[in-house]
Amino acid sequence: MYNVLLFCDPGIDDSLAIMYALLNPKINVVGIVSSYGNVPQQQAIQNVAYLLQLAGREDIPIISGARSPLSGEIAIFYPEIHGEEGLGPIRPPDTVQREVVNFDEIFKIINTYAYNLYIVDVGRSTSLAIAFLLGGDEQLGKISAFYSMGGAFLVPGNVTPIAEANFHGDALAANLILNKGRNVFITPLNVTNFSIIKPENIELITSQPFNAFTFLIKPIFDYYNTAYKKLDPSLSGSPLHDVFTMFALVNPDKVSYISREASVSINFDNTKGQSIADFRKRSTESISEATDHIAISFNYDAFIEDFINVMTMRYN
């Protein structure tokens, strides 16, 4: 069982990753840090609260994350991909009210699950960087591994010609995580662009009321898929970047990595957010905890099979 502290910015693929995690018997979600990113922080919190209410998992703490990047830049949101409120055409009911806990809950969780806790970060890395700055190695050294969705190594970016949205959204924070984190697994666009879920997969997943999320999945996916179709009409479906990252954590044998020290351009020019690593072959490889692991390929059939299995789980 993987104990997971999730950092996210829901967002449609984040929301599907939350559903996937809550439904997956291999995953124990122990807290969700909700921050700005695809939508403003307050909206992201509201969306997490709604999903947890649907699942009857109000026991999972929602931690109030960052509202803007470390640099002080103004955050850019993406309603054209995720909807005005982050769930495509769905608006969480106003009746969803949840107590949000303070940031220091992160350190309480780290100490409760010390050395048996995974951090999965599928949003801008601001909140995780702040946790590093506040807790240092003394606290963050107790994390078994970090899984970070971000970057685009030697492939085009999705928000600039070279940068991916999470690394570009807070390049300073992303670079800090790669520098300070130990056992960091990066899932960049190199792989997540290929984690394509097709409309027929969604038809199957929503063909019966399998669980409390079934009714949400089709409308939010359709919204996202329409946006991706506009971006690239040749796509047969849409990439679920954040779901892939959760899949990678619990299916380590289905994903291949190249181990290199990686960094992120923190220059405020057209390289901002660029993910950088030296992929040249070396005669001797020295891998330490400081080496990052960059996902480079995966078993697509296994991804689809696992996604369908998990999303059709009957909850409770």
CB of 303 to Ca ion, least distance (A): 18
188 binds, among ligand RIB, Ca ion, none (CB under 5 to 8 A by kind): none
Which of 2/224 has CB closer to ligand RIB?
224
55 binds, among Ca ion, ligand RIB, none (CB under 5 to 8 A by kind): none
158 binds, among Ca ion, ligand RIB, none (CB under 5 to 8 A by kind): ligand RIB
CB of 290 to Ca ion, least distance (A): 26
275 binds, among Ca ion, ligand RIB, none (CB under 5 to 8 A by kind): none
CB of 166 to ligand RIB, least distance (A): 5
Q: Cα–Cα distance between 297 and 282 in angstroms, integer?
A: 20
- Does the bond joining 11 to the residue before it have cis omega, within 30 degrees of 0? yes
Q: Which residues, 6+ apart, have CB-to-CB distance to 207 below 8 Å?
A: none
Q: Cα–Cα distance between 238 and 196 in angstroms, integer?
A: 5
CB of 166 to Ca ion, least distance (A): 6
Which of 14/170 has CB closer to ligand RIB?
14
The two structure tokens encoding residue 45? 């919190």
CB of 207 to ligand RIB, least distance (A): 26
* Contact footprint for Ca ion (CB under 5 A): 9, 11, 14, 122-123, 242
Q: How long, in residues, is the chain?
A: 316
* Contact footprint for ligand RIB (CB under 6 A): 9, 11, 13-14, 37-38, 122-123, 149, 158, 164-166, 241-242
CB of 156 to ligand RIB, least distance (A): 12
Left (φ > 0), alpha (ψ -120 to 50) or beta: where does 288 sit?
A: beta
First vs last Cα of the chain: how many Å apart? 17
Q: Cα–Cα distance between 316 and 308 in angstroms, integer?
A: 18
Residue carrying structure tokens 């993910």:
275
The two structure tokens encoding residue 214? 């079934």
121 binds, among Ca ion, ligand RIB, none (CB under 5 to 8 A by kind): none
CB contact at 8 A, 220 and 9: no
Give residue number: closest CB to ligand RIB. 165
Which of 120/277 has CB closer to ligand RIB?
120
Which of 207/270 has CB closer to ligand RIB?
270
Q: Can you tell me whether residue 234 is helix, strand or coil? A: coil
The torsion angles phi and psi of 276, rounded to 5 degrees, stand at: -130, 135
Which of 31/150 has CB closer to ligand RIB?
150
